[in-house]
Amino acid sequence: MAKVKKGDIVNVHYTGKLEDGTVFDSSAGGAPLEFKMGEGEFLKGLEDGVLGMETGEEKTIRIPAEEGYGVYMKEKVFEFAKDRAPENFNPEIGQELQMYRADGMPITVKVIGKTENGFMMDCNHPLAGKNLIFDIKLVEISS
């Protein structure tokens, strides 16, 4: 039976969980995730785990934060001054917003607090700093 190698297009069903068992994403009830091996389209740790699998095989892959969405970086938390905000700007704590970096690239930020002069924003990925666990089943290999 064929085993997954670089360059293959694979279809996997998956459930992504945190160490406490909280499910953060799943393909259950939907189409499997399709990606090309070695293209960096998906998490490196997940690609590495799929390498060598056979169609129908199931396994659990553990991905440390460094190989997932990275470590949580305090430098990515900043204060957004009220005087730079649009009129009537009053987001809720926990709300996610799209902002733009100085170079024009969009980023998603989460409002994590309010200060006297503005809002505390966090632009770390929501899963940064978390170890991830993926239960996967290889559905199909094509090239």
Per-residue model confidence (pLDDT) at position 75:
95
Ordered alpha helix ranges (H), 12-106: 44-50
Instruction: Name the amino acid, one letter, at 96.
Output: E
Per-residue model confidence (pLDDT) at position 4:
94
Per-residue model confidence (pLDDT) at position 93:
95
Q: Which residues of 102-136 are buried (b: 16+ CB within 10 A; e: fewer)?
A: eeeeeeebbbeeeeeebbbbbbbeebbebebbbeb
Tens digits of residue pLDDT in 75-128: 999 999 999 888 888 899 999 999 988 899 999 999 999 999 999 999 999 999
Of the candidates 22, 9, 6, 1, the one whose C-alpha atom is nearest the C-alpha of residue 133 is 22
Tens digits of residue pLDDT in 23-76: 999 999 999 999 999 888 788 888 899 999 999 999 999 999 998 899 999 999
For tokens 């430098």, what's the residue? 75
Name beta bridge partners: 26. 15
Give the up-direction half-sphere exposure of residue 11: CA atoms within 13 A in the CB hemisphere: 11
Domains of the chain: 9-69+127-142 (3.10.50.40), 74-122 (2.40.10.330)
pLDDT surpassing 90 at residue 130:
yes
Per-residue model confidence (pLDDT) at position 101:
84
Q: Taking the complete model, does pTM exceed 0.85, yes or no?
A: no
